[in-house]
């Protein structure tokens, strides 16, 4: 799933000024989509 996500970001991010911005976008997207490790019972 990570490779597909990166390819989608590359398609939509065409025109970023530099490579660092692309890498930052990928890392940001990974942290957003990371599943929550706590279950509902542990959170309560």
Structure tokens at 29: 């997207």
Report DSSP letters for 11-37, one per residue: HHTTT-SSHHHHHHHHHHHHHHHPPPS
pLDDT of 42 reads 61
pLDDT of 10 > 60? The answer is yes
pLDDT of 37 reads 63
Exposed / middle / buried, residue 2 (Cβ in 10 Å: 0-12, 13-18, 19+): exposed
What dihedral angle (degrees, nearest 10) is formed by the CA atoms of 19, 25, 31, 33? -130
């Amino acid at each position: 799933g990570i490779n597909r996500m990166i390819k989608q970001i590359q398609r939509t991010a065409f025109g970023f000024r530099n490579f660092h911005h692309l890498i930052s976008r990928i890392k940001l997207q990974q942290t957003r989509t990371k599943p929550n490790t706590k279950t509902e019972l542990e959170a309560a």
